[in-house]
């Protein structure tokens, strides 16, 4: 870790989550080492793991209700599901990821972080999963229209989808007008930031009630 914004973000997140700081640091170390050597993270991402990857993930913290069953669809190296599971001991989290190498990485990370009692790795495509969750989270997986097709059956009646998105959020909501109205779902854009000194982000929240 060399540059200033990354150091500032690490310190802001450690201050925001003092009880989870040690585990967050261990997870960032796993991303920086095996995440990069296994090809799950680009080499340049090592310079912004706190600022962007962990920071974006934890921006969802306030939006996830207490005690939720959460599914992270297309979890990859565990983003946003693992940072959320680390700082929120009230959550049960299922990391859904179809690719073998990524699912193996996730299982090793869960074991090393000691989260196996409430974090489960499921190697599957979202559209093949038959469970129900209170909250589905995801980042960088697919446009909203496709995500709705895959995830509406997972969060169903009374649950919600929280999809981390950048500038494209409004355009994706417009493009998903038909599936949203057919399913009676509502979509809104949330502006999120976990702490001062950490990159802000945006999310689309979809609810069905
Ligand atoms: C660009 S990566 C993003 C990973 C992680 N969410 C992140 O933000 O770093 C997209 C991930 O979605 C997964 N994926 C693709 N199609 C999927 C599907 N139908 N169901 C679940 N995951 C899927 C891929 O295997 C990949 O790990």
CB burial class (10 A; 0-12, 13-18, 19+) of residue 72?
buried
Q: How far is the CA of 64 from the centre of ligand 1 (A)?
A: 20
Instruction: Classify strands 92-96 and 119-122 as parallel, antiparallel or unpaired.
Output: parallel
Q: Is 90 exceeded by the pLDDT of residue 15?
A: yes
Q: How far is the CA of 98 from the centre of ligand 1 (A)?
A: 8
Q: Is 79 annotated as a binding residue?
A: yes
Q: Is 35 in the pocket of ligand 1 (CB under 6 A)?
A: no
> Could you report how far apart the first and last alpha carbons of the chain are, in Å?
44
Neighbours of 90 (CB within 10 A): 10
Q: How big is the CA angle at 198 (ends 195 and 204), to the nearest 5 degrees?
A: 80
CATH for 68: 3.40.50.150
pLDDT in tens, 117-129: 999 999 999 999 9
Q: How far is the CA of 95 from the centre of ligand 1 (A)?
A: 10
List residues bridging with 192 in a β-sheet: 201
The atom of ligand 1 lying closest to the CA of 57 is: 8
Tally of domains within the chain: 1
Neighbours of 98 (CB within 10 A): 15
Backbone phi and psi for residue 9, each to the nearest 5 degrees, phi listed first = -65, -40
What domain range includes position 68? 4-207
pLDDT in tens, 159-205: 999 999 999 999 999 999 999 999 999 999 999 999 999 999 999 99
Nearest-angstrom CA–CA distance, 74 and 161: 13
pLDDT in tens, 44-70: 999 999 999 999 999 999 999 999 999
Q: Is 76 in the pocket of ligand 1 (CB under 6 A)?
A: yes
- The pLDDT, as a whole number, for residue 121 is 98
**How confident is the model over 142-156, as a mean pLDDT?**
95
Q: Is 73 in the pocket of ligand 1 (CB under 6 A)?
A: yes
Shortest CA distance to 92 belongs to which of 124, 50, 135?
A: 135
List C-alpha distances in Å: 144 to 93, 153, 192. Answer: 22, 14, 18
Q: Is 100 annotated as a binding residue?
A: no
CB burial class (10 A; 0-12, 13-18, 19+) of residue 151?
buried
Q: Is 26 annotated as a binding residue?
A: no
């Amino acid at each position: 870790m060399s540059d200033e914004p990354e150091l500032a973000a690490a310190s802001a997140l450690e201050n925001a989550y003092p009880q989870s700081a040690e585990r967050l640091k261990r997870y960032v170390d796993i991303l920086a080492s095996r995440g990069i050597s296994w090809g799950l993270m680009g080499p340049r991402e090592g310079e912004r793991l706190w600022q962007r990857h962990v920071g974006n993930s934890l921006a969802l913290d306030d939006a996830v209700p207490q005690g939720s069953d959460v599914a992270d669809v297309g979890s990859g190296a565990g983003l946003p599901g693992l940072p959320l599971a680390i700082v929120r001991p009230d959550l049960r989290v299922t990391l859904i990821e179809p690719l073998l190498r990524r699912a193996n990485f996730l299982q090793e990370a869960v074991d090393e972080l000691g989260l196996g009692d409430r974090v489960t790795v499921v190697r599957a495509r979202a559209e093949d999963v038959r469970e129900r969750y209170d909250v589905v989270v995801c980042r960088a997986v697919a446009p909203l229209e496709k995500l709705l097709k895959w995830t509406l059956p997972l969060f169903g009646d009374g649950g919600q989808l929280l999809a981390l998105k950048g500038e494209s959020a409004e355009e994706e909501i417009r493009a998903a007008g038909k599936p949203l109205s057919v399913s009676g779902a509502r979509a809104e854009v949330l502006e999120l930031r976990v702490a001062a000194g950490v990159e802000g982000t945006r999310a689309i929240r979809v609810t069905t009630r």
